[in-house]
A and B are shown apart, each in its own frame.
Chain A
């Protein structure tokens, strides 16, 4: 399972310097990962720590249609995209999601980020069929934020734990090995105990080979209000980029397609400057300045959105 590592970067942050006057520009090295905001900002729950404030009523971004996704998939061939990711909101709220995944798996590997609550028996059966007929992996990343009902539901809402665990159990019964994705909301000193807690709970629910990915929390959106947001000095400066392998940054290897065009990364779709064009090619041609504080988290931890470290450091 994947833990959060102490960042392997040297950064002499001058806490007194506060916000940099100029932000580093990051160009797309290769479009390895194409994300889809497939259910827009619509979600069946409203987690306390959501970094884009998704909810049942947030219509800033709408569902994507199969046709829209198909257009981007076609365009992605020429650009040599390696993997596809689907997020939201809650992707399984989109009624076309199964057709979208089936189509995508003809192009390449797909990963879906879900809260697991809408994984009804027929949905999971179909997912298993779709996965079996492709040479590519279909990864299901299921979000959970506590290993007890009390811990999880305090963040994700009442009744979520039971439904998510039922969804996970169904996935496991159909041969999936979901990646349980946990946003870190505890202190470092508790790492070991929390991990043990998750392993025990998952095994007790029938998941004998649990895969766990722990994400750093992104202190924007609703999470800024839940925790403390970022400190004034937590920005990426040009100086910090010296000797840093920029290919670790999502904006150097990914873009996200939405109902409103292509944005720089899955984290920043609500930022005004994050829209980079209507097509992948347009969005690939322009670089992005790391002017947001969430960029600081990405800088410190690297490739936080991908499943695992599929592309290692440059050597």
Chain B
């Protein structure tokens, strides 16, 4: 049974942010780290994240990107309908697929779609999009509270943790129930900051659950440089350098979209 764990999603090949996240989480006393999926996409050198995950024994939930790369599918199943978003998604998918070793692809294929664990008295469910669908977007402004309550009921969990959208948020539900979108460490959260975010889930004052979002600074200039050297789109590099999303904007609901620059 755990008392303090670190959770992150959306690594998107950002191995530099992953290194810093691991360091920071250990420094803050996390007993274990969990990754909620989407190891590839967006960033350079996809194979560099795997040794880190193995070395630090980080349990990983399968994301839609991992499912696609692992099973050799044609696309990332990100669910975009905007032709521009799909154009960039294709570039990034082709690059990631071509640079992920066969061994790592096999590993992605066998990842579990959910992990359950106990944090003090809380039954915690870790998934990628939602417990019912790997690529469901759960945004803060378009997810009703009673919908989340029903998920807790249907999936017999007190705390549900997901990622997939790339923007972290949380909501306390009835009783001891809680929902946390743990965010992504692969790219900034469309907040104009270059840091990326992970989540510390802990028990405070006895049995009180606390989810804390932690910003992580890393060498984003180096990442940008490597992305350029690998020929990845300048639009992606801009996001790393500015903290504002330049692509995949169509899926953002009104409130989240308005907070960004584009």
Q: Report A's interface with B, CB cutoff 8 A.
A: 1-3, 5, 30, 32, 76-83, 107-109, 131, 135-139, 175-177, 209, 211, 307-315
B253 close to A (CB within 8 Å): yes
20 contacts between A and B (CB under 8 A): A3-B82, A79-B150, A80-B150, A80-B151, A81-B144, A82-B142, A83-B144, A108-B143, A109-B141, A109-B253, A136-B144, A137-B254, A137-B255, A211-B250, A309-B79, A310-B142, A312-B77, A313-B79, A315-B77, A315-B133
Do B255 and A81 have beta carbons less than 8 Å apart? no
- The yes or no answer to B64 lying at the interface (CB within 8 A) is yes
Q: B56 on the interface (CB 8 Å rule)?
A: no
Q: A78-B146, A137-B255 are in contact. List 7 more A-B contacts (CB 8 A).
A: A82-B147, A83-B144, A137-B142, A209-B262, A311-B136, A315-B67, A315-B134
- Taken residue by residue from 120 to 163, chain B's Cβ proximity to chain A (1 for < 8 Å, 0 otherwise) reads as 00000000010011111101111111110111000000000000
Max chain A CB contacts within 10 Å: which of B77, B83, B135, B254? Answer: B254
Contacts of A136 in B (CB 8 A): 141-142, 144, 255
Ordered nearest first, which 7 A-B pairs have the shortest CB separation? A80-B150, A108-B144, A312-B135, A312-B79, A137-B141, A82-B147, A137-B254
Closest chain A residue, CB of each to CB of B256:
A137
Bound state CA distance, A308 and B46, in angstroms?
Answer: 29
Q: Provide the residues of chain B in CB contact with A108, threshold 8 Å.
A: 143-147
Decide if B58 is an interface residue (CB 8 Å cutoff): no
Instruction: Across the interface, name the chain A residue whose C-beta is closest to B150.
Output: A80
Contacting residues, chain B, for A310 (C-beta < 8 A): 136-137, 142
CA distance A272 to B46 in the complex (A): 55
Q: Does B48 contact A (CB under 8 A)?
A: no
Determine the distance from Cα of A80 to Cα of B144 in the docked complex, in whole angstroms: 8
A138 to B67, CA, bound (A): 33
A78 to B147, CA, bound (A): 9
Is B229 interfacial (CB-CB < 8 Å)?
no
Q: Contact check, B144 vs A308: say whether CB atoms are below 8 A apart.
A: no
B-chain residues with CB within 8 Å of residue A139 when the two chains form the complex: 253-254
The majority secondary structure among interface residues of chain A is loop
Contact residues in B for A307 (Cβ distance below 8 Å): 253
Contact with A along B62-91 (1 / 0, CB 8 A): 001001100000000111111100000000
* Alpha-carbon separation in the docked complex, A211 to B141 (Å): 17
Complex Cα distance A307/B149, Å?
A: 23
A32 to B133, CA, bound (A): 13
Give bound CA distance, A80 to B140, whole Å: 16
Q: Which of A3, A137, A211, A315 has the most CB of B within 10 A?
A: A315
Give the interface of B toward A (CB within 8 A).
64, 67-68, 77-83, 129, 132-137, 139-147, 149-151, 250-251, 253-258, 262
Contact of B146 among A30, A80, A109, A175 (CB under 8 A): A80
A residues near B254, Cβ cutoff 8 Å? 131, 137-139, 176-177
Instruction: Return B112 CB to nearest CB of chain A, in Å.
Output: 14
Given contacts A80-B150, A138-B254, A308-B251, whether A314 and B81 have CB atoms under 8 Å apart is no
Contacts of A309 in B (CB 8 A): 79-81, 251
Complexed CA–CA distance, A314 and B129 (Å): 11
Q: Are A1 and B82 in contact (CB under 8 A)?
A: yes
| Shortest Cβ gap from A255 to chain B (Å) | 15
Taken together as a complex, chains A and B put the C-alpha atoms of A83 and B139 apart, in Å, by 12
Give the residue among B68, B140, B250 with the most A Cβ atoms within 10 A: B250
**A5/B81 in contact, CB under 8 A:** yes
A315 CA to B134 CA, complexed, in Å = 6
Q: How far is the CB of A264 from chain B (nearest CB, A)?
A: 21
Contact flag A312-B146 (CB < 8 Å), given A135-B140, A177-B254, A211-B250: no
Q: Write out the residue numbers on chain B whose beta carbons fall within 8 Å of the beta carbon of A1.
A: 82, 250
Chain A residues lying within 8 Å of B136, measured Cβ to Cβ, are: 310-312
Inter-chain contacts of A2 with B (CB < 8 A):
81-82, 250
Residues of A with C-beta under 8 A to B150: 79-80
Of chain B, the residue at the smallest CB distance from A192 is B83
Q: Chain B's nearest CB lies how many Å from the CB of A179? A: 8
Nearest to B141 among chain A residues (CB) is A137
Write the nearest CB–CB distance from A193 to chain B, whole angstroms.
14
**Chain A contacts of B257 at CB under 8 A?**
177, 209, 211
Q: Give the complex CA separation of A9 and B193 in angstroms.
A: 40
